[in-house]
Structure 1
Amino acid sequence: MESQPNTDGRIARGERTRAAIIAAHAALLRDGELQPTAAKVAQRAGVSVRTIWTNFKDREELMTHSTNFWLAEDDELWKPIDPATDFDARLATYVAQRVRRLENIAPAARSAALSEPFSPALRASRRSHVDRMRDQVELVFATELARCEESAHGWLLHAVVVAASWPTWTQLRDDYGLTIEDSAQVMERTMRVLLAT
């Protein structure tokens, strides 16, 4: 019968291998490889292609772990903002954080857009990002949202979320070619006008 230390060691090695594969996938996305092949991921991770598929049963499982990696990074960049503080300070802090998070997630978001229609894991990840962002907007700007009439609460919340969303950000950055600073200013001014309505 196999001893416990050997079993624990094998589990730890497996976790390190999976982490290396996910980190390699993320690094390739950051390098601009929007659809890295298994061979490129394996080469970057220092493993064989076969090792990838012995650690992840298929591409969907790999995508699930990859999206969890990006969600964890996003969690680290989100710092709670006290909803009781001054509106201007809250808005400035929220926009600064949101910009950092959008720029960080950009490689994964651009890659996901290519495969999302065919990947339940990527669609679930997108839904999770949207839900988390909506919840954060509701918390940070609870005072302003509470001031509007009940019939307007829903559309105002949706409008603010859209102003700070990835699709809006990528339109400003990629379609209009704006700098990070100019794009952040558009976001801040749009949110200010909406929340002052």
Structure 2
Amino acid sequence: MANNEAVEVQRHSDGRIARGERTREAIVEAHAELLREGVLKPTAKVIAERAGVSLRTLWLNFKDLETLLEATTAYWLDADAALRQAIDPSLPLGDRIDQFCRQHALRLEHLAPAARSAALGEPFSPALAAARRELIRRLRRDLLETFPAELEAAGGVDGALCLGLMAAASGMTWSFARDDLGRDAADATELMRHTFARLLRA
């Protein structure tokens, strides 16, 4: 009998944990959906309503806004990582430039809603600042893995070539092309590719 009771208690505990995880996932996904729709600074009440939970439930799962932002940035970073594909560094330079720019443009476009929102809150949020640092680290890594010979010959990670490529592929440059200049994603991608070609072949 004791064993049956222990199994029932464990099952109840597992079910409660699973429900809690589903609730947290629903809240994070609701937050992400609102950002995609252009609601760049949704309130906790709006997020809770979109997730179909009470405001009290939201704060039971996330103790404060920063904790929610930590979960949301992890969601976006995981999605970005899933879009990444390694590029063979032995391919001809032109092929590597094309593949890198197409892939990176896709990732930037995917992250754009979160980036627009983060620009409003980053000065006040350690989670958002940490997410930006992680994206910069990923960009530097991807450049070094895709263009190792070219970057090594031009001063490595601290050389002007690497810094120029990072600037050309940055979220800020993408936002400038897409939001400030009003270019579509294809034009913004071509701008990146053209800049890469000029820098890498100089």
Q: Bin the TM-score by the shorter chain.
A: over 0.9
- Which residue of 2 is the match for residue 107 of structure 1? 113
Q: Could you give the per-residue CA deviations for residues 143-188 of structure 1, whole angstroms, max 9, x where no partner exists? A: 211233x489522111101101100111111111112111111100
Q: Aligned Cα RMSD in Å?
A: 1.5
Range with greater deviation from structure 2 (82-91 or 112-121): 82-91
Percent of paired sites with the same residue: 48
- The letter of the residue matching 1:88 is G
Count matched residues.
196
Q: Could you give the per-residue CA deviations for residues 111-159 of structure 1, whole angstroms, max 9, x where no partner exists? A: 00000011011001101111111111111111211233x4895221111
- Which residue of 1 is the match for residue 126 of structure 2? 120
- Which residue of 2 is the match for residue 56 of structure 1? 62
Deviation at 1:57, TM superposition (A): 0.7
Is residue 21–residue 52 contact of structure 1 (8 Å, CA) maintained in 2?
yes
Range with greater deviation from structure 2 (3-12 or 63-72): 3-12
Q: Secondary structure of 2:163's match? A: helix
- The letter of the residue matching 1:75 is A
Is residue 144–residue 157 contact of structure 2 (8 Å, CA) maintained in 1?
no
Is residue 89–residue 96 contact of structure 2 (8 Å, CA) maintained in 1?
yes
- Which residue of 1 is the match for residue 190 of structure 2? 185
Query: 1:175 aligned to 171, 176, 180, which one?
Result: 180
**Aligned mates of 1:128, 1:82 — CA distance in 2:** 23
Q: Secondary structure of 1:97's match? A: helix
Query: 2:153 aligned to 147, 152, 156, which one?
Result: 147
- Which residue of 2 is the match for residue 79 of structure 1? 85
- The letter of the residue matching 2:195 is T
Q: Which runs of 5+ in 1 are unaligned?
A: none
**Aligned mates of 2:157, 2:87 — CA distance in 1:** 24
The answer to whether 1:29 aligns with 2:28 is no
- Structure label with greater radius of gyration: 2
The answer to whether 1:11 aligns with 2:17 is yes
Q: Secondary structure of 1:35's match? A: coil
Q: 1:155 to 1:65 in 2, by over 3 A?
A: same
Q: 1:187 to 1:8 in 2, by over 3 A?
A: same
Is residue 146–residue 153 contact of structure 1 (8 Å, CA) maintained in 2?
no
- The letter of the residue matching 1:194 is L
The answer to whether 1:95 aligns with 2:101 is yes
**Aligned mates of 2:156, 2:43 — CA distance in 1:** 49
Runs of 4+ aligned residues of structure 1 deviating over 2 Å after TM superposition are 150-153
Q: Secondary structure of 2:159's match? A: helix
Q: Which runs of 5+ in 2 are unaligned?
A: 1-5
- Which residue of 1 is the match for residue 163 of structure 2? 158
Q: Secondary structure of 1:168's match? A: helix
Question: TM-score normalised to the size of structure 1?
Answer: 0.95
